[in-house]
Structure 1
Amino acid sequence: MSTVDYTFKNDAADEADDAIRPAELEAMRPLPRISVHAFCESEAMLRTMERCAQDRRLAKVSLKISSASIAAAANMFASAPTPNLLILETSAQPGDIMEELAPLAEVCDPSTKVVIVGRYNDIPLYRELIRNGISEYMVGPVGMTDVLAAMSAIFVDPDAEPLGRSLAFIGAKGGCGSSTIAHNCAFDISNLFQTEVILADLDLPYGTANIDFDQDPPQGISEAIYSPDRLDEVFLDRLLAKCSQHLSLLAAPSMLDRGYDLERGSFQPILEVLQRSAPITVLDVPHAWSEWTRTLLSEVDELVITAVPDLANLRNAKNMLDALKKLRPNDKPPHLILNQVGLPKRPEISPSDFCEPLGVEPVAIIPFDAQLFGAASNSGRMIAEMDRKSPTAETFSQIAHLVTGRATMKKPKKAGIGKMLGLLGRK
């Protein structure tokens, strides 16, 4: 992740919240591997750059931030190479800015891009700066979205093909049904919207996607992980198994012939290729908490946590939501799905009591239905294939709309409403 070379009190961190425009942020693509150094004169600019440093779109960016002036930048780079991008804040009068920049211009590499944040809305100044090679001039105070948009305009090719969205599903506890929900949602997205979807099973030793789709591919995700030098769209295409007209599977080996001690960034090259290969990538993430899962969950576009209404799931879900809020400070909270609600003879926490300490509402409540899910699993079919008109199939359809941004759920979708009414109030 980005590195920050300063410390200060962030007493007014919430102050910058109104500068974050979620719709614009979601539309921004991740920045490439570049080096950036920001020189800030004000506390407000320092706070803005700190928020930028925490954003997942800068995961590959090496970002340094200094509380210093343009003159200090000139002194520093007199004996050090300049980065790909300099962000410079100045309080100088419009007539003095070019003079202030002169010493830096003498030591700045010609390929280095420069963004100036000034205090004056002056059109002649803007034109003069652009004419002299400055990439952008912004009038402060600026928000995090403004800075990210300026960086994106410089380093992200607007003519490049758009990256596909990545949707990660993870369970609050083992056995809560996160994989089943991920597989059904991937199937529904591909069918309902007639769009290409790649389902990647990241549970290398125990993944079940191949069983759920009745597939036995000879190759899969392990070949991609252990051959990163060969990984491109052509190589990926050879590893995919076709599950339906628009759904392809990158299967896990589901074997115990080796250990799977993966490095922090093991899945990052795969995710990049997947996002270039299909409009939607669904990631079935195992219930684990390691460096690679933390890194992956911090970088995806949408997150879905599945939980069963018991005490262990509640504790784990709370811990995950708190950790993910720190990992993704500028993103909306993960979606929460309550699964296996109403299991006979099992004491459980009611949905309202489960969600109150979490501070989030469930986007779906799926009842326990051993017959429907068991029959689907044993036959290698999805719920929509078994019974398209069932309440559970409708719930998966609604989740598919939600995670792809095609709909917003105002109330949790309850499958099997009739028999659920008596269960929802039960603890």
Structure 2
Amino acid sequence: MVSDLSAFMPLIVLVGTDAAFFKGVGAAFGPAKALSLNVVAESIEEAARRPELETAAVIVVDIDAHRRESLVALQGLMTRTGGAIPVIVLTDSFDDALARWFLQIRVSDFLRKPVEPKEVLRACIRALRATDSLPEEQGRILSFIGAAGGVGTTTLAIESAMLLLRAGGREADSTCLVDLDVQTGVCADYLDLAPRLDLDEIGPYPERLDSQLLEVMLARHATGLSVLAAPGRAARRTALEPGVVIRLLDLVSARFDNVVIDLPRAWEPWTDQVLMGSNKVYVVTDMTVPGLRLGRRLAAGMTERLKEVKPRVICNRFEQQMFGSGLRRSDVERALDGFLAGTVANNYKLVREAIDRGVPLDAIKSGSNVSSDLKRAVFQGGGEEGAGQPRSAVPARA
């Protein structure tokens, strides 16, 4: 008896009436042998109650955003699935209000037409990886957010991007570092680069942003790392609209195999969407009692707010205490039990020299303790045991 292998493949359901476009999407999905594709050639109003939608791993809906009936049907679909099935929306009409509404009803992703069929495929793969429905291969999106200021979040984000770049053989366009902290972001400063992302140009007109304009706004480090960063705007309140952020990340993730995001500590209207679109989310803190408490609090808050996001905490500037009254590793493990990804050694002299020279840590000292600890915590599953089973123990002050 021959088994039906498609029964074990994640099912992607395409809903819409644009037959020519879906034909192109089907061709793009052809090489993806691990995926099964089903096209429902109906409007979302007609297809919203179809039983095959309940068996889908991802639903892609092509809608006319000018039709209120379509928007109501989409909202009904989101209510029906309860967030258990990622929904990706395609629309040729796009503005800030629509972007905010998509975020509110918790669609997994949205793309503005015209869009390349391969970008639809990439969006589906990101959604599958976010739900653990597809094994991770080379491509990944990592997000780093600090539990407090000055804990080394940017340093770890940059070094993680460099590790991914080296693992990919430094191939062109393999890795991009995205600095979303537009107020005080320092990724470009750390790498001695001129930030080229012009928010004044694209902010009011996100629809102008395309692959050609993205290329102009990318800064390139001598190592081959691409950096997307805007000039810092100290003493100015700068608000990034969700549509701009999502459009930027869509283009970057379609262009690069690996994306590392340095997030601001302040919770923005688009933070939920970025976290849900990431393969891994890391909260960075330091080896102090307040730092450990803040790290645990932020990770627990993310887990409660976004059920599909599983944040891990990296304890930076870790120093092993053998004697004395300071914090020990057992205190760190107890404080972050269930969330701890790993610890990164305190090597201030090395990190400071790398920042002052605008180079990665490997250029100062190959195989440093900071790099090896970070590789173990982020890429080798450090601290996985007990993940998702946090306890309440927090160390008392030393």
| TM-score bucket (shorter structure) | 0.5 to 0.7
Alignment of 1:9-408 (within 5 A): 82=45, 84-88=47-51, 115=53, 161-163=121-123, 165-194=140-169, 195=171, 196-220=174-198, 223-256=201-234, 258-331=236-309, 333-342=310-319, 349-360=327-338, 362-399=340-377, 402=379, 407-408=380-381
Equivalent position of 2:101 in the other structure? none
- State how far apart, in whole Å, the 1-side matches of 2:207 and 2:199 are: 14
Conservation of the 8 A alpha-carbon contact between 2:318 and 2:345: yes
- Whichever residue aligns with residue 342 of structure 1, its letter is E
Percent identity among equivalent residues?
22
Conservation of the 8 A alpha-carbon contact between 1:189 and 1:197: yes
Deviations along 1:302-334, one digit per CA (max 9) or x if unpaired, are: 101111122322232222222211343234x22
Deviations along 1:186-236, one digit per CA (max 9) or x if unpaired, are: 112112222511111111121111111111144456654443111111111
Change (3 A) 1:193 1:301: same
Deviations along 1:273-310, one digit per CA (max 9) or x if unpaired, are: 11111111111112222333233223322101111122
Conservation of the 8 A alpha-carbon contact between 1:188 and 1:384: no
Unaligned runs of 5+ in 1: 1-23, 35-80, 89-113, 118-142, 413-425
- Whichever residue aligns with residue 256 of structure 2, its letter is A
Conservation of the 8 A alpha-carbon contact between 2:283 and 2:313: yes
Change (3 A) 1:391 1:258: closer
- Two-structure CA RMSD over aligned residues (Å): 4.1
- State how far apart, in whole Å, the 2-side matches of 1:85 and 1:178 are: 43
Change (3 A) 1:249 1:33: farther
**1:388 shift after superposition:** 0.6
Conservation of the 8 A alpha-carbon contact between 2:314 and 2:377: no
- State how far apart, in whole Å, the 2-side matches of 1:33 and 1:249 are: 36
**1:172 shift after superposition:** 0.8
Mark the structure with the bigger radius of gyration.
1
Conservation of the 8 A alpha-carbon contact between 1:176 and 1:339: yes
- State how far apart, in whole Å, the 1-side matches of 2:187 and 2:15 are: 33
Conservation of the 8 A alpha-carbon contact between 1:363 and 1:411: yes
**1:383 shift after superposition:** 0.8
Classify the secondary structure of the residue corresponding to 1:384.
helix
Change (3 A) 1:323 1:239: same
**1:391 shift after superposition:** 1.9
Conservation of the 8 A alpha-carbon contact between 1:173 and 1:313: yes
Change (3 A) 1:157 1:329: farther
Conservation of the 8 A alpha-carbon contact between 1:199 and 1:249: yes
Q: Under a length normalisation based on structure 2, what TM-score does the superposition of the two structures give?
A: 0.60
Conservation of the 8 A alpha-carbon contact between 1:197 and 1:280: yes
Change (3 A) 1:85 1:226: same
Unaligned runs of 5+ in 2: 1-7, 17-43, 56-80, 90-107, 124-138, 386-396
- Whichever residue aligns with residue 49 of structure 2, its letter is L
Conservation of the 8 A alpha-carbon contact between 1:355 and 1:362: yes
Deviations along 1:243-273, one digit per CA (max 9) or x if unpaired, are: 1454101112113374213345541121111
Q: Under a length normalisation based on structure 1, what TM-score does the superposition of the two structures give?
A: 0.56
Conservation of the 8 A alpha-carbon contact between 2:152 and 2:284: yes
Conservation of the 8 A alpha-carbon contact between 1:222 and 1:252: no
Conservation of the 8 A alpha-carbon contact between 1:376 and 1:386: yes
- State how far apart, in whole Å, the 1-side matches of 2:15 and 2:238 are: 27
Change (3 A) 1:148 1:231: closer
Conservation of the 8 A alpha-carbon contact between 1:343 and 1:368: no
Equivalent position of 2:135 in the other structure? none
Change (3 A) 1:82 1:378: same
- Whichever residue aligns with residue 166 of structure 1, its letter is I
